């Protein structure tokens, strides 16, 4: 079983001003294990085929992750951010199922 240590992205939407929605992104690093590894190419009517992984990552959650698991949107694995499709709560762990490459908002780096 492969080890995992990397950023998990929590994305919360909020109303910045009336009618304007913005996102608050928090990235925190967590240790865990990669419990399933597989991928597939999605051949579509596009120039470049997409890749989708069906990996599952089991992270050891802290109180923040446990109380905000519904806001988990991505996990950075092998240097690439991947969408989190589902989160299963199996205290003290969270099981994250990954899917397509994540292209949404990321935390600001300084």
Which CATH number applies to 2-101: 3.30.1490, 2.40.10, 1.20.120, 3.30.300? 2.40.10
| Spatial CA neighbour of 10 closest among 92, 86, 105, 89 | 105
**pTM, 2 dp:** 0.83
3-state secondary structure of 74: strand
Two structure tokens written together for 31: 């240790």
Q: Where are the domains of the chain?
A: 2-101
DSSP E strands, the chain: 2-17, 20-36, 39-42, 50-53, 56-60, 72-77, 80-90, 93-101
Rounded CA-CA distance 85/65 in Å is 16
Rounded CA-CA distance 89/107 in Å is 24
Q: Summarize pLDDT for 49-63 with one digit per residue, the tens.
A: 566 778 899 999 999
In whole numbers, what is the pLDDT of the chain averaged over residues? 87
């Amino acid at each position: 079983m492969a080890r995992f240590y990397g950023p998990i992205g929590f994305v919360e939407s909020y109303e910045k001003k009336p009618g304007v929605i913005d996102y608050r992104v928090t990235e925190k690093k967590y240790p865990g294990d990669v419990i399933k590894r597989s991928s597939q190419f999605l051949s579509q009517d596009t120039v470049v085929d997409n890749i989708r992984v069906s990996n599952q990552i089991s992270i050891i959650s802290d109180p923040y992750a446990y109380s905000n698991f519904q806001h988990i949107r991505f996990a950075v694995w092998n240097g690439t951010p991947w969408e989190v499709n589902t989160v299963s709560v199996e205290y003290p762990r969270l099981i994250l199922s990954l899917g397509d490459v994540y292209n949404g908002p990321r935390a600001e780096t300084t």
